[in-house]
A and B are shown apart, each in its own frame.
Chain A
Amino acid sequence: MTISSSRYVQPAREGDGVNGRRSPKPPPRTWNAIDPPFRGYQTLPTDSYSQTSSNDPIIIDNGSHLIRAGYSTSSKPLLEFPADVARYKDRKTNRHVCYVGYNAFADATTRGQIKGPFQEATNVVEKWDYMENVLDYVFSSLGVDNGERGGIGRGIVMTEPIAALGYTRKTMNEVLFECYRAPSVAYGIDALFSFKQNKGSDGIIISSSHTSTHVLPVLAGKAIMSGVSRLNFGGYHAALYLKKLLHLKYPGFPAQIKDYQVEQMVRDQCYVSQNFDHEIAHYLEWTGLEDRDRIIQFPFTEHTVIEKSKEELEQIAERKRQGGIRLQEQAAQMRLKKLIEKEQNLEFWKDLQRRLEGQTKKEVKRLLDAEELKDEAALDRTIKDLEKRIRKARNKDIGVEEPEEQEEQSFPLLDTPDADLDEAGLKQKRHQRLMKSGLEARQRAKAEKAQEAARQAEVQRLDDEQRDTNLDSWLQQRRAKRSTLLQQIKDRDRQTRDLGNRKSLASQIRMKTLASLASDQPGRKRRRGGGDDDDFGANDEDWGVYRTVQTGEPGASDEEEEEDLDGDMRKLEAELLQHDPEFSEAHTMGAARDWTKSLMHAFLRGPRPFDPESQRELHQLHLNVERIRVPEVVFQPSIAGLDQAGLVDIAAGVIESGFGKDGRDRRAVLKDIFFTGGNTMFEGFQQRFEKDLRALLPVDAVMQTRKAKDPLLDAWKGAANWAREPGYKPASVSRAEYEEKGSEYMKEHNLGNVG
């Protein structure tokens, strides 16, 4: 047995009643792919501006995914919207339009124009026009109207990324102070606001948001900026990674997978595995796959076959029958007409024959010439022929089966030497010779056929005999034959596959052949061989060139051959099944291709059979390994090709190196490891982090982890609270300071970046 066939003959995987896997199951639970997150036209209370004083700043959590904004007086942000802007010139109305946030998802046109102020995959503002649109939207929605004095009339507290870039802050300052005439602006770090909101003082913040994941140590409420570390992976990257995986998993997926749908899948279906390697290795196993495999259903339209009612079917059949009868009648009439015609002809010829009797030779010649006949023999033949045809037609009409004429044809003239014959005789002789050789050829073919059948029977008999006498060698032969067949089938599959691809070897060979066939110049072979004859066709395989040249579409002959190989295989396996004690159903090719044992099937289609005809199933995505594979990237960035250490390694590094020799600080921060940001909301994130970090810490280290009360909104709430504290005023840059000290001027404070 060759190695190449091992794939097909491997025994069935051990399993829990393999046959049970086929048993019908209740319809699976599916999750629908979400619609665009359009919220309709929404109004905010218009008096919110007038209810606040100029001492209540507007808090903006300037997130690269969701932006939250509101007055510091409210307990939660009034506004929350994605950082998406659709701005274009409407062709219908011929004016510029701009939709921000969820409004940008209003229809297909607006969705197609969505861009954001942030640079792709980062938390850095790049497109300032869009940033202005976002701020316009914020102030407009918040009902900002400072009357005569203009400007926004409220201070701004805005979040910025850790170690924000000076240029970004400078430009933001320019926009806020000059475009919106803000009286004061303060910046702070979202993670620190969230930590403050959750009453943290010493600790390590694990902040995983849309575009990045940060580890940030904090002592006495002040960030240790030297200890900060960033991993360039967040919710954005997780969704992008899942999207890539899904595109590769379902290359011909009929629906378009949108970003917001993928984000939803990440949020709803993914979780962090507690023991990744172990769990993923067993993820596609049959047991429990039903629960692990999640089906995302995309909208589809089922092609329904219109069922015809019984009466309709009967009507159709009746109509067909009627049509058939009519056709038969027509044909019978036609036959009758022809028969009459023939009989008239026969009458005419017979009459002619009678008239010829007793006429002079010259007269006979004249009469025959008039009818374009050569001689009397020709007339005889015509009459005989007609008579035969009429008889046949009559018999057919009345349904009499005419016995095959078995008259022994005689060829008397063949033995007569040419010299004894006149011209007509010679002609007759030639005719007879032709007839004779035809007859002989037919007889020969018949004999050969009989011989072939006998030979086949003999082969079968010998084969049976060999099997009976020497089963081992017979089996050996059959197995060898089977592996060759397998190889052939594989080769054929590969060939068809390769021909679809323009750059494959098979396609290139085909092109070469085509070129050489089309070229007028003699090929190299011919030149060497000399002469014009290239022996094409001497070898049967030469004709294969036409198969090679045939296009990739499976033509008729291809189909035939395919049938042939597969048919042969079936026959062979049937024989083996009957006689080979070691060969069982599980070894057959059909069994090896059985979906219940296929890893790829479990991966692509879960624990159910797949019907490629069903539009419903074609529009389904199965999430299984992806559910843990995607969030795992934060812990093992190399999975997604990110050349950075995992989150736990980073945190361990920060803890180890960030706090000098003093063990007290380290002990303090370990007691409060704090999670915030949307990307930490995966089920199991906290536990996994704790488990992995514990393994890296000394035995007696005391560690505690906790999650922000609201990982999404606590940054905004913290900022709002901070703005009500006395520490806020001195930390904000006033308009006068801005004008005096320039756009790059900033103030350091505990919750912000340092200059």
Chain B
Amino acid sequence: MPALTALPADDSHQRLLDQLDLVSKPKPFRNPAWRHHQRRNKNIKQVISEAQRKEASVMATQNNSGATTPAPEGSAIATRAVTPQPSTGGVSLTAQSLSTMVLEKNLQAQITMANGPVATYSNIESAPSLHPASQKHYCDITGLPADYTDPKSRLRYVDGEVFEVVRGLPQGVAEQYLEARAANVILK
């Protein structure tokens, strides 16, 4: 591939661009009547928060209403013995405390969740490490294992020579180094 910086003098480049252009290509596969609705572009934050709100509202409806079908007799609730129940049992009890049963149903849902919660985009993110290995310090400048921290800039450094570099950094550069390991302080 020749260097692209020098464009040919004639219109060959423009012709090439015309060839590459997608707008001018025929698109018989597209539905000419297709109109997408406004504001379909949403960033991930919006999408996740909407999804979470939806989940929460489903939970809330389950908590508050008796709309969900109570679990049938002798279901998992009893076997799991979540609530110590007097063994009177029977339909009357079910009728008495429908709300309890709904709650238990939810509880059951939660229990199954604990075993295999629905994987969502946000909850499959792995947790922070508690392993001591994550406490290792490396020199911010050279990446070598560092024993020292400059109290002024909070940069880690490996030896005296690097320390001189740290102290000689122009304004703002130390923050950029910190930002590279997300240790910078952001004032809002």
Contact = CB atoms under 8 A, between A and B. Distances in A.
Interface of A: 6-7, 35-36, 38-41, 92, 95-100, 103, 105-108, 110, 119, 122, 124, 126-129, 133, 136-137, 139-140, 144-147, 150-153, 161-168, 171, 174-175, 178-181, 214-215, 224-226, 228-232, 241, 244-245, 247-248, 251, 277, 280-281, 283-284, 497, 500-504, 598-600, 603, 625-626, 629, 636-646, 649-650, 653, 753-754
Contact of B47 (A124, A281, A637): A124
A171 to B, nearest CB: 6
Interface stretch (B72-80, B83-91, B179-187): B179-187
B134 to A, nearest CB: 5
A145 B183 contact: no
B108 to A, nearest CB: 16
B171 A162 contact: no
Interface of B: 1, 3-5, 7, 13-14, 16-17, 19-23, 25-31, 34, 36, 40-44, 47-48, 50-51, 115-121, 123-131, 133-136, 138, 141-145, 158-162, 164-165, 168, 170-171, 173, 176-177, 179-183
A41 B124 contact: no
Contacts of B27: 136, 139-140
Nearest 4 Cβ contacts at the A-B interface: A641-B182, A645-B129, A226-B116, A641-B181
30 contacts: A40-B16, A99-B21, A106-B4, A106-B20, A126-B43, A128-B40, A146-B29, A163-B121, A163-B123, A165-B47, A179-B31, A225-B119, A226-B117, A229-B125, A232-B125, A248-B141, A251-B173, A280-B145, A497-B168, A502-B171, A599-B159, A636-B133, A636-B136, A637-B129, A638-B181, A643-B128, A644-B125, A644-B129, A646-B131, A649-B131
A503 B168 CA distance: 14
Given A248-B176, A280-B138, A645-B131, 6 more contacts: A140-B25, A167-B50, A179-B34, A281-B145, A598-B161, A599-B162
A307 B147 CA distance: 52
Contacts of A643: 128, 182
A41 B16 contact: yes
A148 B92 CA distance: 66
B19 A7 contact: no
B136 to A, nearest CB: 7
A214 B164 CA distance: 41
A271 B43 CA distance: 34
Contacts of A653: 126
Nearest to B117: A226
A644 B126 contact: yes
B22 A98 contact: yes
A97 B23 contact: yes
B34 A226 contact: no
Most buried by B among A150, A247, A638: A638
Contacts of A228: 119, 124
Contacts of B179: 244, 641
Nearest to A161: B121
A661 to B, nearest CB: 12
B157 to A, nearest CB: 11
Contact of A95 (B1, B23, B126, B162): B23
A230 B127 CA distance: 9
A106 B121 contact: no
B14 to A, nearest CB: 8
A607 B19 CA distance: 49
Contacts, number: 238
**Which DSSP category, helix, strand, loop or mixed, fits chain B's interface?**
loop
Contact of A645 (B3, B128, B144, B171): B128
Nearest to A644: B126
B119 A163 contact: yes
A128 B36 contact: yes
Contact of B121 (A92, A96, A147, A164): A164
Given A163-B119, A641-B182, A645-B131, A503 B31 contact: no
Contacts of B29: 139, 144-146, 150-153, 180-181
Contacts of B168: 497
A2 B23 CA distance: 73
A256 to B, nearest CB: 12
Contact of B180 (A106, A248, A646): A248
A733 B161 CA distance: 64
Nearest to B48: A165
A225 B124 CA distance: 9
Contacts of A165: 44, 47-48, 51, 121
A626 B36 CA distance: 45
Contacts of A7: 160-161, 164
A503 B51 CA distance: 47
Given A7-B160, A38-B1, A136-B30, A119 B124 contact: no
Given A100-B22, A251-B173, A168 B17 contact: no
Most buried by B among A41, A214, A247: A41
Given A229-B124, A281-B144, A38 B4 contact: yes
Nearest to A138: B29
A180 to B, nearest CB: 6
Nearest to B184: A641
A227 to B, nearest CB: 8
B3 A41 contact: no
A542 B128 CA distance: 59
Given A178-B34, A229-B124, A97 B21 contact: yes
B151 to A, nearest CB: 17
B167 to A, nearest CB: 8
Contact of B116 (A40, A146, A225): A225
Contact of A96 (B13, B23, B141, B170): B23
A548 to B, nearest CB: 20
Contacts of A171: 40
A225 B115 CA distance: 11
Most buried by A among B14, B31, B119, B135: B119
B180 A241 contact: yes
A183 to B, nearest CB: 12
A168 to B, nearest CB: 7
A147 B133 CA distance: 62
A640 B129 contact: no
Nearest to B158: A599
A35 B125 contact: no
B20 to A, nearest CB: 4
